[in-house]
Amino acid sequence: MSVQKNALPLPTGRQVGLLLNQLLGRTVRVEQNATAMAVRQPCVIGIYVTDDDVVAALCVFDLKLGCHLGACLSMIPPVVAEESVRRGVLGEYMAENLYEVANVMSRMFNHDGEAHVRLREVVQALNAVPPFVGEMLARKPMRLDLNINISGYGAGPMVLLIEP
């Protein structure tokens, strides 16, 4: 995987919260973690690339948060999201919805004068975290560790990683 040469600006927790509040149409509380969270499975990873298909950023959702974000977007009942968490898999409709959430989140990386960034794909890492995540972590990326709590649904950690 090619690596981004010029680092993008790191979004703030406030920016993430505003975007999710607007997108989901409900209260979303975002708290920044003072310490870095471990990136481990099961998780869902949004991979963001430049127009040259160079990886610029990753957004790692733990499975629980991924299920709740995906369910909330189209008002799938929270019990369905919880059942997906218990089964250890992101259901088909929730996966499609989470892709849309991750796609809209690409706005946080696009600023005038910076490289254009888009969502390339969303990968479910249910049994093992893909090697490219560990490789990025070894390069000491800029990172933002958050706890996201969606009113009426649930909470979980999210980590934004931006290539140095």
Q: Which of 124, 123, 106, 102 is nearest to 115 (CA)?
A: 106
CATH of 13-162 given 3.40.50.150, 3.40.190.10, 3.10.400.10, 3.40.1550.10 = 3.40.1550.10
pTM: 0.89
The pLDDT tens digits for 82-125 are 999 999 999 899 999 999 999 999 999 887 777 789 999 999 88
Q: Where along the chain do its domains lie?
A: 13-162
Q: Which of 153, 132, 143 is nearest to 35 (CA)?
A: 143
The pLDDT tens digits for 64-78 are 999 999 999 999 999
Scanning the chain, the segments in alpha helix (DSSP H) are 13-24, 63-73, 78-87, 92-105, 131-138
Q: What is the mean pLDDT of residues 37-54?
A: 88
Q: What is the mean pLDDT of residues 15-31?
A: 96
